[in-house]
Amino acid sequence: AQSVTQPDIHITVSEGASLELRCNYSYGATPYLFWYVQSPGQGLQLLLKYFSGDTLVQGIKGFEAEFKRSQSSFNLRKPSVHWSDAAEYFCAVVRISNSGYALNFGKGTSLLVTP
Amino acid sequence: DSGVTQTPKHLITATGQRVTLRCSPRSGDLSVYWYQQSLDQGLQFLIQYYNGEERAKGNILERFSAQQFPDLHSELNLSSLELGDSALYFCASSPGTSDSTDTQYFGPGTRLTVL
């Protein structure tokens, strides 16, 4: 079954530093992958998505992610983190089954940004 | 603001009770999804409706049911509530043109507390 793993539960970075959040997927074919962000008390907002084509995907808020089939990864990156980026980040993959499609989410990575 | 609305924002009830959560999708979206977010299980897909009909089913308990009405709003009914049902319940909507690649837009969630 299609699934994603986010190895890091918490990450702390200094404001202005670069960021990389890890996501590994499990699926034989090309997966449909998403990154969402959840700010405290808010719903989930889509940052970017990958279906096919260019393996480097640009998203909102200065985020990008790179699909690497050889490593089964879809890591999220940002060159310079702002304090407002502190939030919970979720990687997700479309789960395809007899009963249709849905998103399978990772456990999430909580990002703390220090001054 | 994703355009998806959920009511109520908070709900506190007792074990054994029944509650109804309401979701209004974005204008024009035909698909509605329900997800449950809890500390121990993370974000779990419950069920999807498309234009009034059930399309996909996930880890939804038999005590839970949902429906989508002709005006496309959806309701999630939770009955015989248990302490473990305390969670954040999200509704998401998508255009419905392609379940596998459509972006799902999430509402702010309903926080359910069962005492």
| Interacting residues of A24 by C-beta distance below 8 A, sequence separation 6+ | A4, A5, A6, A7, A71, A72, A73, A74
Given this model, what pLDDT does residue B97 score?
76
Is residue B104 within 8 Å of residue B4, measured between CB atoms?
no
B48/A100 CB distance under 8 A? yes
pLDDT at residue B76 greater than cutoff 70: yes
How far does the CA of residue B43 sit from the closest CA of chain A (Å)? 6
Full DSSP string of A15-49? TTS-EEE--EEE-SSPPPEEEEEE-TT--EEEEEE
Residue type at A75 in one-letter notation? N
B62 to chain A, minimum CA–CA distance in Å? 17
pLDDT of residue B98: 74
Write down the pLDDT at residue B66: 97
The tens digit of pLDDT for each residue in B85-115 reads 999 999 999 998 777 788 899 999 999 999 9
> Which residues are CB-neighbours of B56 under 8 A, at least 6 positions away?
A97, A99, A100, A101, A102, B45, B47, B48, B99
> A12-68: per-residue pLDDT in tens?
999 999 999 999 998 777 789 999 999 987 889 999 999 888 899 999 999 999 999
* A31 and chain B in contact, CB less than 8 A: no
Label residue A98 by pLDDT band (50, 70, 90).
Answer: low
